[in-house]
Chain A
């Protein structure tokens, strides 16, 4: 359960951070924001795995 919580927090944080960075770089369409969030999730997964 605790591992699950860590993963949940990182995935949520990763998606939000990706969203914010994409927004900051003027990717304001739904597709651009979604891609940013996806990039953030990938980053979060790699942060946890390495």
Chain B
């Protein structure tokens, strides 16, 4: 009895620790402590609760004394070491001019057939190409490029383009730590599945499309409406202001149209050689920067393709770091400057909380809660397994932490407990087959990784908001929409129809996959374009403010429902192999409806938190 009470109490402590910093009371945070501190405190409370429970149940002293070591054993060193290795090589790249070389290369891309549009697309999606253990590294390296190109720099891109670009870059960089092969969050899930790299493609595909949806949302849904009022980024003394001195008196739609015209004027092919030379002056890098960038790429490709045999990733990264240090004559201090403590402490705090939940029975309580959620019915109608999962995979973005690892480390054991290997966690549900579990893991992890983008408590998105000088949280909804409708369900669909059905491969699966992709594309474009508040009226009024809120709610509810349906199809669409069977005897159409409701609830919670 004491154990049951302790398990419920420890779960409450966990939820309090996670939600506390997000809740605002009277304009102030309910708990003004750093999240990591709070999680460590919560872990200590859980350990004390577990000790108390064991003592009441007649446990002996050695059992009580072993509790802290049981919690400590949950801290997994490999991802921490890989992350530290990634940070060291990032520090070496910054110190040696490697990132400056990267900026030169990107600037030169404008002169290729990619042109300005292709180059901006490349910048928006770049972070996941060479995914680092923390997206902040890529964001910090790329944001200066955008500043230089923007209205306060060489004015190659307009204010609106800059807002769209920084938002897309933020969510892409945030999500990039999911598929990273050098200490990414995905590696924790791949460790559970015992197949390194299994979840990479699915996450990357979801990120690619989710980034585009984020750009679409911020462009059509938000910036036309109130960009002039809520983004205090200067237009700069550019051609933008030519003939538009009465900016404040224009309709926002008209401003967007003029921006479009300017962006077309800014085709690089129309620039003179002198102008291009002036721009090139702002992008300079030493030779050693190019060499260090080459060493990094070689190390990364070698690590991904096992070119160096069975050398651990951390060793490869450290060797690359030392090589760059020698060539660029860097000091230890310069290299260590690349380490970002935040994600490392977040991971350790998350692991500690997970360990404390394991010893206090919190995981069992959470598993039981999820099972209850799946079985709970009113008038014979309930969420079912499909609805519960459609809601659960979006949980990290509903409660966005400054680092997705915090909740991922704490919750992944519960996700795994839904699968077939449930013996290690008594009371776990065992609701899913191994293949279904892989789909859920891909969706859950990419959602977790991306969640640090829209986090209002120090997420990557807040860096972008600072850059364009907008209100805190202004870019959040666009990122949340991209994660909700793009990244999460598409990662699950890609896992189901491309990764897991490789053997045997069937055209049916490929056809289904492309059909479902088309549905998601058409829906997202349609919903953002049609339920667009700026279409209602040209001028901003209090009524329109309400209309914008209503439109946002409708979009998120519908988006969540579509995401939930896609999750249900990915998990429960009957397959000849029988690996994707529906739990119980629920008809498939009911499963789809349950997924839609679960997804819609997730969409509503995303807006509410």
Q: Identify the A interface with B (CB < 8 A).
A: 1-2, 5-6, 8-10, 12-14, 16-18, 20-29, 31-33, 35-36, 38-40, 42-44, 46-48, 50
Contact = CB atoms under 8 A, between A and B. Distances in A.
A17 B129 CA distance: 15
B300 interface: yes
Contacts of B121: 17-18, 21-22, 36, 39-40, 43
What 10 A-B pairs are tightest by C-beta distance, nearest first?
Answer: A39-B118, A39-B121, A24-B219, A17-B212, A26-B260, A24-B215, A2-B502, A35-B117, A20-B212, A35-B115
Q: Is the interface of B mostly helix, strand, loop or mixed?
A: helix
Quick one: which of A6, A21, A33 has the most chain B CB within 10 A?
A21
Contact of A32 (B115, B125, B517): B115
B55 interface: no
A36 B216 CA distance: 13
B418 interface: no
Contacts of B213: 20
B260 A38 contact: no
A17 B525 contact: no
Nearest to A49: B301
Among B164, B208, B521, the one with the most A-chain Cβ atoms within 10 Å of its Cβ is B208
B128 interface: yes
A16 B521 contact: yes
Contacts of B264: 27, 29, 32
A21 B208 contact: no
Interface of B: 113-122, 124-126, 128-131, 157-158, 160-161, 164-165, 168, 201, 204-205, 208-209, 211-213, 215-216, 218-220, 256, 259-260, 263-264, 300-301, 304, 494, 498, 502-503, 505, 510, 513-514, 517, 521, 525
Contacts of B304: 50
B122 A43 contact: yes
B517 A13 contact: yes
B118 A18 contact: yes
B464 to A, nearest CB: 15
B119 A39 contact: yes
Contacts of A40: 121, 125, 208, 212
B118 A42 contact: yes
B428 to A, nearest CB: 33
A25 B120 contact: yes
A39 B164 CA distance: 16
A31 B114 CA distance: 10
Interface centre among A25, A28, A44, A48 (most CB of B within 10 A): A25
Given A10-B205, A40-B212, 20 more contacts: A2-B503, A8-B510, A9-B517, A10-B201, A12-B514, A20-B213, A21-B124, A21-B215, A22-B118, A24-B164, A24-B168, A25-B120, A36-B121, A38-B114, A38-B118, A39-B118, A40-B125, A47-B204, A48-B201, A50-B130
A25 B122 CA distance: 13
Given A24-B215, A25-B165, A38-B114, A5 B505 contact: yes
Contacts of A18: 118, 121, 212
A14 B130 CA distance: 16
A9 B205 contact: yes
Contact of A17 (B118, B157, B211): B211
Given A1-B505, A44-B208, A47-B204, A20 B125 contact: no
9 contacts: A12-B514, A22-B117, A25-B161, A25-B215, A26-B158, A27-B116, A27-B117, A35-B117, A36-B121
B129 A50 contact: yes
B205 A25 contact: no
B168 A26 contact: no
Contacts of B215: 20-21, 24-25
A25 B263 contact: yes
A7 to B, nearest CB: 10
